[in-house]
Amino acid sequence: MLILGCPGQGSQSKGFLEPFLSEVPGFASKLEELSVASNRDLIRLGTTAEEDEIKDTANAQPLIVGASIATARTLLAHQGISGVIGHSVGEFAAAAIAGVITDSEAMHLVTVRAEAMAEAATLEKTSMAAILGGEMADILASLDTLGLSIANYNGAGQVVAAGSVQAIAKLIENPPTKARVIELKVAGAFHTSYMAPAISRLQAAADLITPKDPSLKLWSNSDGSLVTSGNEFLQSLVDQVSKPVRWDLCMETIASEELEFVELPPAGALAGLVKRGVQGAKTIAIKLPEDTQKIGA
């Protein structure tokens, strides 16, 4: 079963779209179309823009979603895709690929989301950090002491903590027993109550859209369940702004499938999690166009 994975924020890197633009027919024109919908020059952002510009939440989220959609529509259009799953902002790309919303609607919504979250991140100084290894009881105790919360349950021995920059700094200085802590390059404490101010703007934009039920298998970050209702999934895209990402539950749900997991660009992180967290899964990270040759091999 071929399942596409749509990555989340932080996966982007300078120039990652250059080989796709130069080698994949139709990729540039599709990205131009998505640029109009997002009011962003995605071609420039994916090629010549500097790290600081593409790290900006208002740019990073449309860029990542646009890259995933363009790849699915061009490079992987005839691969016999059975299902799709996104991580955090990647769920907007997944919603489009599964036919819940149109490509243009996905780009408009993610741009509203990105701008609202960037604005919310300026209200208080917050940050996020990945916690690798350790026992969950020790991790929860440490986070509770510092007033931090878990924003991403990524599975495969990884969670992401979020909260004030001071508390994140203390967590890095004194990590939980047998754990490593790595601060993430993000603007704020995403998927926590700190992002609640962003919800109303995204809700208003979502209310103008009439979604369809998915045409492919689609799994939700809210609880790992298989999506049957387009209306419910669209609402979950709004709600997930301030709710934890349950990628661990998504992996548990797809683990029973005969799985070939193909991560769309900017790829790497999700394929790594699935490789470690889903026994027997074949994983492919599309970092270059020629990586598609590994599909079905």
Active site residues: 88, 191
Task: Report CA 290 to chain centroid distance, whole Å.
Answer: 23
Q: Where are the alpha helices (DSSP H) in 241-294?
A: 247-254, 269-277
Contact indicator for 198, 241 with CB cutoff of 8 Å: yes
Tell me the DSSP string of 188-240: S-TTSGGGGGGHHHHHHHHTT------SSEEE-TTTSPBP--HHHHHHHHHHT
Other Cβ atoms within 10 Å of 204 Cβ, number: 12
CA of residue 187 relative to chain centroid, distance: 15
Q: 200, exposed or middle or buried, with CB in 10 Å at 0-12, 13-18, 19+?
A: exposed
Neighbouring C-beta atoms of residue 14, cutoff 10 Å = 16
